[in-house]
Amino acid sequence: MLHKQTIDLVKSTAPILKERGEALTRHFYKRMFLHNPEVIPLFNSAHQRSGTQQKALADAICAYAANIDNLEVLGGAVELIAQKHSSLQIKPEHYPIVGENLLSSIREVLGEMASDEVIRAWSEAYGFLAKILIEREGQIYKEHVAQDGGWSGFKTFYVTKKEVESRVITSFYLSPEDRSRLPLFKPGQYITVRVETPNGSTTMRNYSLSDTPNRDWFRISVKREAPQHPQSTGGYVSNYLHDSVTVGSRLEVGPPCGEFFIDLAKNEIKPLVLLAAGVGITPILSILLSALNALPGHPITLIHANVNEETHAFKTLIDGLACRHPHLKVHYCYSEPIADSSLRDSSVSTGFINSRLMESIIEERDAEYYFCGPKPFMLGLYADLLAWDIPSAQLHFEFFGPRQELEAAQTLAV
C-alpha cells in the first residue's frame, strides 16, 4: 500500500496537474522520444500530431492523482490500459523508461513546485501503478499463449480476401501463414496490425474484428482515413492497407485484445440495443452476428448511422439478417442522404442517432446497450442514455479517446 504522506502529496498536486497537465505530457513525450527513441514505434504518430495522446495521458495522470486514495474507481481504466498495452506488446522493461522521463518532466515543467518530496511521492505512486499494470499485463500475455490457437507477440498472417464494403471501408480476411488454428476471440475485441514505415521503422494500429469468432480467419474492416486538412497526409496505415495490401500480402498480427465485448455465457441477458456510427459498426457487427447465433429469438435492435448511402457498409448483409431473424429490428439514418427521402420506408431516416430517434425505435429501455462510433456521437449518446437513467453497468462501449470526456457527459446528464 502507498504511504499516507505519498497519498497526501500526490493529491495536493492534482489541481496543478489539471492546470498544466497537457503542457507536462507534451514535454514528456518530446523528452522521451529524444532520450529513448527505441520506444517511438510503440506510439501512434497520428495521435501524437493531433494531440489526442498527450491529452489522454494528461487526463489519466489527473484521474490517478485525484483518486489515489480510492483506486477502486479506476478499475475499468486499469483494465483498458492493460489490454491496450498488451496489444502493443508493452513489457516490464518499458516502465522504467516511462517513469524516468515522467518524473524528470514533472520536475522540469513544474519547477519549484516539484520539490524533492513531491518527486519522491510521485516516484512511489508511479511504481505502485506500474506494478499493478505489469501484473495484469503478465496475466493477459499468459492467457494469449494458453488458449487454443493462441500465440505470443506478433505472428505472420496473409491476406486471403479483400472486399470493398463501401466507398470508404474495405474488409481484409487474414489467415495465419503457418495454417494454425485461431483462438476464439470475444465478440467486440480487436487485433493489432504492425506494418513497416517509409523510414524503416514500424508502426501499429488496432482494428476491431468484424466477424464471428472462427478457427480459420480474422476479418478487419478498415476505413480509409482521409486528410483532416490540406497539410496532413491522412492515416498512414489505413491508406497503406487500402492501396498497397492485396490478396497474398503478409501482415504482422498480434493476439485479440480489448475489454469491450459481449459475454454470451451469461445466464440472463436483457434485450440488446446495438448503436453504431460509421466504421463503429465493425465491433458491433461482430457482437450482432455472435448474438444471433448464440441467442436465437432474443430481441435485438440495431441502429446504424452513416453520412450517406455510399459510406454505408454491410447494409446488404444486415438486411439479409433482418429478413431471416424477425426478432432483429434494424434502422438506418443518414446525415447527408443521397436518395430521395420520399422513396424510403420507415426503417431509414435523415439525421443523427439521438434521444428522439431512439425513443421512436427502442421498445424496451431496460436493455444492454453496446455502442461505438466517432467522439461526438459517443459523447451525445452516452449523455442521452444516462438521462434515461440506464445504469452504467448496462452501457458498454468502445471509445477512441480519453474516457474523462465521457465522464464530462455524465456530469452534464446529471
Return the percent helix, strand and coil in the chain, to nearest 5.
50, 20, 35
Question: Which string of b and e fits 191-230 if b means at least 16 CB within 10 Å?
Answer: bbbbbeeeeeeebbbbbbbbbbbeeebbbbbbbbbeeeee
399 is in an annotated binding site: yes
Show Cβ contacts of residue 45 under 8 Å, excluding neighbours closer than 6 positions: 203, 236
**Is 282 assigned to a binding site?**
yes
Alpha-carbon dihedral 111, 27, 85, 379, rounded to 10 degrees:
100
Q: Is 188 known to sit in a ligand binding site?
A: no
Residue 320 in marked binding region: no
Known binder of ligand: residue 206? Answer: yes
The answer on whether 183 is annotated among ligand-binding residues is no
Cα radius of gyration rounded to whole Å, the chain? 22
Enter the DSSP assignment of 335.
Answer: S
Q: Which residues pair with 326 in a beta bridge?
A: none
- The response to whether 281 counts as a known ligand-binding position is yes
Any binding-site annotation on 337?
no
**By CB neighbour count within 10 A (0-12 exposed, 13-18 middle, 19+ buried), where does 141 fall?**
middle
Distance of CA 47 to CAs 44, 52, 233, 263, Å? 5, 5, 13, 31
- Distance linking the first and last C-alpha atoms of the chain: 34
Annotated binding residue 402: yes
| Active centre residues (catalytic) | 95, 137
Query: Does residue 205 have a known ligand-binding role?
Result: yes
Binding residues for heme b: 85
Binding residues for FAD: 190, 205-208, 399-402
Binding residues for NADP(+): 278-283
